Amino acid sequence: MPDAITVQPTTHPSGTRLSSGSLDSLPATIGRPAYDRAAVTPGIVHIGLGAFCRAHLATYTDDVLAAGDTQWGIVGVDPLSPAIRDALKPQDCLYTLLVREEGRDSLRVVGSFLDALVTADQLDEVLALMAAPATRIVTLTVTEKGYCQDAATGALDEAHPLIRADLDAPEAPRSVPGLLAEAIRRRRAAGVPPFTVLVCDNLAQNGIKVRGIVVRYAELRDPDLAAYIAAQVSFPCTMVDRITPATQDADRATVEAALGCRDAWPVVSEPFKQWVIEDRFPLGRPAWEKAGAILVEDVHPFELMKLRCLNGAHSLLAYLSVIAGIETIADAMADPQLPAVVRRLWAEDLIPTLPPVPGTDIPAYTAALEARFRNPGIRHRTIQISSDGSQKLPPRLLEPARELFAAGKAPAVIPLAVAAWMRFLLEVDEKGTAYAVADPMAAALTGIARANRQDAAALAAALFAVEDIFAPELVAEPAFRAAVVERLDSLMTVGVAATLSALLGT
């Protein structure tokens, strides 16, 4: 089913709720499941019910169901919060995807979620479902921090409170590694082969990394289970991409006006989407390629390009924008200087670190990224992207910086991004407006920032010492340290605009 269906706002009596029963009365311009949902059986358990998976893998799967392969319905599981489950259940797990581009909105109701559960209060049901033979794939979008990793190394954070708790009570897991290990253990005990674990988060080599995390967790729990997981469970790597900002009330109102009934939690995204997947699914998979996914032997080149060029540029823009008081990525791209800084980041620091990407012209890819960032229909808040910097900076920007130094080159723009993140930790923008830092390490990081708020060199030195974020080889580079301190001092004394002018020579 295509995403692009132009919508004319309608004036239906409001009050009704989107549901199976209201599908037939939707305006003809609204896309909807082109298949009998009652005939669909669950084949996928998806963990992490945020907006991204509903704009991305659920729409690919919706298309596969519409193409007639009805054994791949999805049951969604949120590890913590009941909010999305409670919004979706009364509407038979249907929801609307509002695709926005300049002057043209299109809407489709997505039907691939069959049910929604919450681990925190339905653990037995979740584990029974994950252990069921019909479940052949477990997909995940739990964000970088959801895997309980040490962000600098990508290894399991063995001191993580959820991991400690799960090791004490492994049959009632609360962490994602604990949940995967327990479900696989139950399947093994029942003679059911393991599901494929498909990680759809922005980690470098996401499948390999999460495999390492789950195997290590299992080793601490039961070495025999660890050996089984290492030998038998497939963790293909994936590259996922679709810009999907958090849903706002204004989006709910737009959707309600178009549908003529209320959708408690629609999702907004850009038109573009991309999914590159390693084709290693021992128990089979949906024919996602029919919906445009690219199945490959090796995802790594695609993933490096996306994680560095898209996500790295997002992080640079987010930290500079939050401290300058710029609200969205589209607004940042309307700034007189920021687009030029992003182009330099791509050209000088990131593209030189990338291997060739099959079928892709990388400068054309970054030019297309620039157009995506400028999409005025997408109000992607810079404060949203600023979250979890401790998890995001290492794969997006610190690793390419380390690679550049190892090749004898100094990065031109990455030190500015790192300095902007450090300045951002002061929790107040240049206009004096306070904001909160959202990060699993927020307490420690903002504590360091508060203690060193007058002194760029001291602040940078204290943050460089945080080994969960900074690899020792990188912070041992005097040129890296000096460049970050210089930029941070400039951001703290003369501000974003003057710092960018100095960098760009404008």
Among 49, 291, 309, 385, binds ligand CS2 (CB under 6 A): 385
d(CA 222, CA 185): 10
Q: How far is the CB of 274 from ligand CS2 (least distance, A)?
A: 8
Q: How far is the CB of 292 from ligand CS2 (least distance, A)?
A: 15
Q: How far is the CB of 314 from ligand CS2 (least distance, A)?
A: 4
d(CA 114, CA 168): 33
d(CA 395, CA 96): 32
Residues 112-131 as x/- pattern, contact with ligand CS2 by CB under 6 A? --------------------
- Edge to edge, the sheet with strand 274-278 lists 238-241, 274-278, 294-296
Q: For residues 193-212, which are near ligand CS2 according to CB under 6 A?
A: 202
SS3 assignment, position 356: coil
The interface region with ligand CS2, picked from 236-244, 416-424, 436-444, 456-464 by CB under 6 A, is 236-244
Q: How far is the CB of 382 from ligand CS2 (least distance, A)?
A: 10
Closer CB to ligand CS2, residue 122 or residue 311? 311
Q: Where are the alpha helices (H) located in 190-222, listed in sequence order?
A: 206-221
Closer CB to ligand CS2, residue 61 or residue 206? 206
Q: How far is the CB of 42 from ligand CS2 (least distance, A)?
A: 26
d(CA 294, CA 302): 10
Residue nearest to ligand CS2 (CB): 314
Summary count for the chain: helices (H), strands (E): 23, 11
Closer CB to ligand CS2, residue 242 or residue 300? 242
d(CA 154, CA 300): 16
The interface region with ligand CS2, picked from 189-197, 235-243, 331-339, 450-458 by CB under 6 A, is 235-243
Closer CB to ligand CS2, residue 85 or residue 314? 314
Q: How far is the CB of 318 from ligand CS2 (least distance, A)?
A: 7
Q: Applying CB under 6 A, does 243 fall inside the site for ligand CS2?
A: yes
d(CA 214, CA 142): 14
How distant is the alpha carbon of residue 122 from its chain centre?
A: 25
Q: For residues 44-83, which are near ligand CS2 according to CB under 6 A?
A: none
Q: How many CB atoms are closer than 10 A to CB 90?
A: 11
Q: For residues 259-318, which are near ligand CS2 according to CB under 6 A?
A: 310-311, 314
Q: Which helix (H) or strand (E) holds 39?
A: none
Tell me the one-letter amino acid at 344: R
Q: How far is the CB of 313 from ligand CS2 (least distance, A)?
A: 8
Closer CB to ligand CS2, residue 187 or residue 396? 396
Closer CB to ligand CS2, residue 160 or residue 392? 392
Partners of 149 in beta bridges: 156
Closer CB to ligand CS2, residue 113 or residue 373? 373
Among 63, 105, 150, 241, binds ligand CS2 (CB under 6 A): 241
For 352, how many CA atoms within 13 A lie in the half-sphere containing its CB?
19
Q: How far is the CB of 288 from ligand CS2 (least distance, A)?
A: 17
d(CA 405, CA 117): 46
CB-based contact 86:107 (threshold 8 Å)? no
CB-based contact 157:163 (threshold 8 Å)? yes
How distant is the alpha carbon of residue 275 from its chain centre?
A: 13
Q: Which residues bind ligand CS2 (CB under 6 A)?
A: 202, 241-243, 310-311, 314, 384-385, 392
